[in-house]
Chain A
Amino acid sequence: MVDDKTVDVLQKKKVRLNNTAILFLILVVMFALFSYVGRPFFFSKLNLIPMINNLSFVGIIAAILTMVMVSGEIDFSIGGNIGLTACLTALLLEKGLPGWLVVIIALAGGFAMGAFNGMLVTVVGVNSIIATIGTMFIWRGIGYTITNGESKLALNTVIDYIGRGFVFKVIPFPIVLLVAVFIITYIIMNHSKWGRRIYAIGANPLASFLSGINVKKVKFIGFLFCGAAAALGGLVLTSLSAVGMPQHGQGQELVIISAIILGGTALGGGRGQILGTLAGVFILSVLYNFLTIMNIYYFYIQMVQGSVLILVVSTYEIRQAVARRRT
């Protein structure tokens, strides 16, 4: 009797954790397959390094947004935040402010945008989908207004370094940022007390509240840092393109949220893995990269990405249903 139950439990655990492992497996298979089919272009330093460089800002934001989503909320305003940050950065540089100060102001702006979202959701009590779709338009609108809709060159040694600099002359700085953000969020989510609170709130906000956890505070801080992460992403994108423009980041919220969901985070909260998000970001980027290398039209690429998203998420659901039936 006891033995039976133990076996059952082991199977169940395996099922749950394996989702992330499967994603990495898919990724490895994709790399292998694409390297062969897409030779000699796909598997080369010239391709992969810029690819990771270009996905870095998506990854940075996705990591933090995963924390927000695990806590049961969502932030759609990240795309607008990127755009506004990019415009702000370019304008401040144009005004002749030193690069380091511009970075500080841009990040502070990100915190402010995050705080505003957090206030709307936790203090006023607006549903986060509605609140952040609203602020998404507001941020982008402000971006268009302050720049008159024009793109502006953003060239400055500090800003250049964020997206195009190299650490030790070989490792691109955005990749360093990406790795740092993922290590930090991984530790927070999987090993820290704060991460525990985030998971608990996502799993059951009421029970967490009635266990003395300050649910609003945890959610607020999630939004706060999500705003800052989006601003950091905006800085990276500004630097990558050397341009601040209000269109920056348009549509990126869906790309980022897709990657997170692909990585196994539940929309309702409570479930989600930072490493899963990392895999999700990579899978979507690698797909785009490979299919573009193969001269595939954009619309087909989108179809493939959408299909992969649905396929993987369906697999999660099926596996979960199977696991449930087994108990």
Chain B
Amino acid sequence: MSDSNGIVLRMENITKTFPGVVALDNVSIDLYKGEVLGILGENGAGKSTLIKILAGNYIKDSGDIFIDGQKFEIKGPAEAMSSGIRVIYQELNTINNLTVAENIFIGEQLVKGPLKIIDWKGMNKKAEELLAVMNVKLDPNAIIGDLTVSEKQIVEIAKAISQEAKILVMDEPTAALSEEETQSLFKIIQALKTKGVAIIYISHRLKEIFEITDRVTVLRDGKKVGTLKTKESDSNKLVEMMVGRDIKDMYPKRHVPIGGVVMEVNNLGAEGFDNISFKLRKGEILGIFGLLGSGRSSLVKALFGANKIKNGEIIVNGKKLRIKSPGMARDAKIGLVPLDRKIEGLALMMGVKENITLANIKELGKSFLIARNQERRKAGNWVDEIGIRTPSVEQEVNSLSGGNQQKVVLAKWLESGSQIIILNEPTRGVDVGAKIEIYKLMQDLCEKGSSIIMISSELPEILSIADRIIVMSKGRFTEEYKICDASEEGLLRSACL
């Protein structure tokens, strides 16, 4: 019955919770043979969770999965693979010291002869064919580590295709691709469609959704908002569904008077980037935009003293500084809200108060001892002031939601009196409500005289919140935009220079 309908995959009422967060709440999707289903949603909407359940990386709390009409329990990645599900993740899984061909055929090398000797020639040849289908020229013998991010991505796709995928899931596949590369990817997708492969295409780039998908399902805050035929929808409608409110409410921007220069960076160079110069003014939000591998995170680390500076200078409040460690950056009143808060920002197994005071332990009392009451009071003040939702300041931060964790990281730097706050992807993995709060918070800080450097790869965010945007590509500065001159196309073009 369902087979005649052509439904390859049906996920019904899937629910998944994590400590403090309902990641998916009764979400259902259908996927037909030979179609491209777009899944659209903000970061934290539940897209990745849904995919990870499908791939067997997470176990759902409840709900059912049907493949070809048969109920199917996915208990691990191996089972997902065996039922023909292939996932290409945002974070690449290529093995850097193997060749292209080895990566493509990893796990199922071609063998020949009775002794099952690895058939290198055959593997290379087949790899070449696969790559040719995708219209890319790549040497099957090239070592993965030497390839660019987009080339690695292509290898991942080739790997998925080589394994006879029935259901192919692509999670933000174009995040690191240039326009040209994106187009060749779309050609591949079209080719796969005609072969009857069902594709789930995840993106938050509307343009791509319109270009490649047949239908689109929108998720928001872990719930399914609806599914539309792509042809029957338009951009405004989708955004409204995604955000759940008018776009102006989504990115509240206040006018904050901008003062004099507080930080000046001249010809700065370090590992991953070189020759970067910019000025940051009081009350300003300076956006830095760049794709993966553009050197934006390296720049942040160098500014914060975590990576060694090779050349150039940093001037803060008129004084030339040699920032050799994060401790020195902190003392210069610079704070960093890092890219991955769980790895770089928080001691997850410690409490809210310990994390808030982490950068400023020495101020926790006059003697060598910690004044516990003082600490609780300080932490409590920040919890109230920036609205961290936690049962108590003793709560382990592990159990807080992404948005609240991010606020804890921010509170850490406020507690240590930072005047220049660098935020690397401040709203990654944060739900929409918390996102808006973080934007407001950033502007509150600017109003109080702080300055902010915001690194973001989310175009709507950076275009709405920043006062000025610097674009980086391949470790170099490419262009600076005043906010009134900036557009999505412009930024992307500069980022691919």
Contacts and interface: CB of A to CB of B under 8 A. Distances in A.
B190 to A, nearest CB: 43
B349 A211 contact: no
Interface string B408-441: 0000100010000000000000000000000000
B326 interface: yes
15 contacts: A6-B391, A193-B361, A199-B354, A200-B361, A203-B350, A204-B343, A207-B345, A207-B346, A207-B347, A210-B304, A210-B344, A211-B326, A212-B325, A212-B327, A213-B358
Given A9-B395, A212-B330, A196 B361 contact: yes
Nearest to A193: B361
Please classify how large the interface on chain A is, using the bins under 10, 10 to 19, 20 to 34, 35 or more.
20 to 34
A15 to B, nearest CB: 11
B364 A193 contact: yes
B359 A211 contact: yes
B368 A194 contact: yes
Nearest to A204: B347
Contacts of A307: none
B348 A203 contact: yes
Given A6-B391, A207-B344, A270 B349 contact: yes
B394 interface: yes
Contacts of B343: 204, 206-207
B490 interface: no
B222 interface: no
B392 A9 contact: yes
Interface of A: 2, 5-6, 9, 12-13, 187, 191-194, 196-197, 199-200, 203-204, 206-214, 270-271, 327
B377 interface: no
A13 B350 CA distance: 11
Contact of B391 (A9, A212, A213): A9
Given A187-B369, A196-B354, A211-B412, A12 B327 contact: no
Residues of B in contact with A, size category: 35 or more
Contacts of B306: 209-210
B393 to A, nearest CB: 11
Given A5-B391, A196-B361, A196-B370, A214 B344 contact: no
A206 B346 CA distance: 9
A236 to B, nearest CB: 27
B391 A193 contact: no
B19 interface: yes
Contacts of A209: 306, 326
A213 B350 contact: no
Interface string B368-404: 1110100000000000000000011011100100000
Nearest to B368: A192
A210 B370 contact: no
B353 to A, nearest CB: 11
Nearest to B305: A212
Contacts of A187: 369
B448 interface: no
Q: Which of B20, B346, B350 has the most CB of A within 10 A?
A: B350
A203 B349 contact: yes
A18 to B, nearest CB: 16
Contacts of B122: none
B367 to A, nearest CB: 9
Determine which residue in A187, A197, A207, A213 has the highest number of CB atoms from chain B within 10 A of its CB, and name it.
A207
A200 B329 CA distance: 19
Interface string B121-164: 00000000000000000000000000000000000000000000
Contact of A192 (B326, B331, B350, B369): B369
Interface string B330-366: 1100001010000111111110001000110110110
Contacts of B412: 211
Interface string B312-336: 0000000000000111111100001
A196 B19 CA distance: 25
B395 A210 contact: no
Contacts of B364: 193, 196
A130 to B, nearest CB: 23
